[in-house]
Amino acid sequence: MILMVCMAALGAAFGAMMPLRWGVLGFLGALAVLFMIHAGLNSASGFAGSSFEESLLLFNGSVVSYLGFNLQITYRAFALPMLAVATPLVFRLARSLRRD
């Protein structure tokens, strides 16, 4: 839960600080960076809080399976950070379009 709140706060900061001239590519880049950070933290924390070596025992020593599992977990939990990036960006874009 704490990881989700931190990633949502980081996403809101990305959305608020990203220059509007970057447009869609900047938005996708910010999401990619946020996803990689989230996946890295999920992988580093181990399966259910256990160490990396103990986590690999559960996946028969396969690092690829362990990383694939963590990417799947990150993919399922990524809706809130993605919304946190998009919300300030959309409000800033709407405000800049009203001024023009």
Tokens standing for 10? 């980081």
How many other C-beta atoms lie within 10 A of the C-beta of residue 9?
12
| pLDDT computed for residue 71 by the predictor | 92
| pLDDT computed for residue 96 by the predictor | 83
| pLDDT computed for residue 49 by the predictor | 80
| pLDDT computed for residue 100 by the predictor | 63
pTM: 0.79
How many domains does the structure of the chain reveal?
A: 1
Please give the Cα distance from 44 to 47 (Å, whole number): 9
| pLDDT computed for residue 17 by the predictor | 86
* Segments of the chain with pLDDT less than 70: 100
Domain that holds residue 65: 2-99
